[in-house]
Homo-oligomer: A and B are copies of this chain.
Amino acid sequence: MNIPETILAGMRKTNDLFCTTVVGHRDVDALDHVYTKDARILPPGAEMIDNLAAIKQFWLQAITGLNVTGASLTTVSAEQAGDTVVEIGQAELTLAGGQLVPIKYVVHWKVEDSAWKWHIDIWNMNQ
């Protein structure tokens, strides 16, 4: 990936927070540090969500509703675009029964408050 390691490290830090704290501890208030203040998410099977309170509510319902116990995020490619980054990635959710759900995504990353954050987040299922 033709992108500075410092940026990739910043992205990993945010992704780790999502996996460990938001999904692992079901602490959706930590999404303040994952998404920009004016972030938008485009979940499959729903309309776009364009405010952070509703994004928190979405993730709380998704994580508890599906009984998600773990998540991993892997960057497939990341391209710098001005002072932002466009990333293609693969996610894998682990459900309580041990089932793995493969997901692919595109995230438009921006720096906010000195941290790399998800500004636009869209995903879909592989199957």
Contacts and interface: CB of A to CB of B under 8 A. Distances in A.
A45 B103 CA distance: 9
B86 A120 contact: yes
Interface of A: 40, 42-48, 76-77, 79-84, 86, 88, 104-106, 108, 120, 122-127
Contact of A42 (B81, B84, B124): B124
Contacts of A123: 122, 124
What's the dominant secondary structure at chain A's contact region? Answer: strand
Nearest to A44: B124
A127 B48 contact: no
The 9 closest A-B pairs by CB, nearest first: A82-B82, A81-B81, A44-B124, A124-B124, A81-B84, A81-B82, A106-B122, A86-B108, A42-B104
Contacts of A79: 108
Nearest to A85: B81
Given A86-B108, A86-B120, A120-B86, A44 B80 contact: no
Contacts of A88: 40, 42, 48, 120
A67 to B, nearest CB: 22
